[in-house]
Amino acid sequence: MTQSRAERRLAELADRLKRLRGDLEVAEEQCLHFEDLAEDARLRALVSETPAAERQHRDAARQAETMARHRARLREEIGSLEEQQDDLLDRFYSDV
């Protein structure tokens, strides 16, 4: 890989990592919010013991789980890109 191509690829990876880390920060906040909503709905379902409250709890728990999976995918993608970046840097500096 030529030096200019490696530099371009490193810049692309850095930009993508920056965006994904921003997305992860938002996802972390949303996870906390949805987890709080799910916990509130769980407590309401326990206290009221109504089918409607139980449905709301299941829906809230499902939303929290969906957001947790999204957050996990972002973390995995960030980890993968960091590995690619490390490999590229190793190759880049071994060629210099």
Tens-digit pLDDT profile for residues 8-66: 999 999 999 999 999 999 999 999 999 999 999 999 999 998 999 999 999 999 999 99
- Residue 90: band (very low, low, confident or very high) from pLDDT cuts 50, 70, 90: confident
Q: Domain coordinates of the chain in residue numbers?
A: 3-95
Q: Is the pLDDT of residue 83 over 80?
A: yes
Residue, of 76 and 4, whose pLDDT is higher = 76
Residues contacting 10, CB < 8 A, separation 6+: 85, 88, 89, 92
Multiple choice CATH, 3-95, 3.30.70, 1.10.287, 1.10.3470, 1.10.238: 1.10.287
CA distance linking residue 68 with residue 37, whole number of Å:
14
Question: Model pTM?
Answer: 0.85
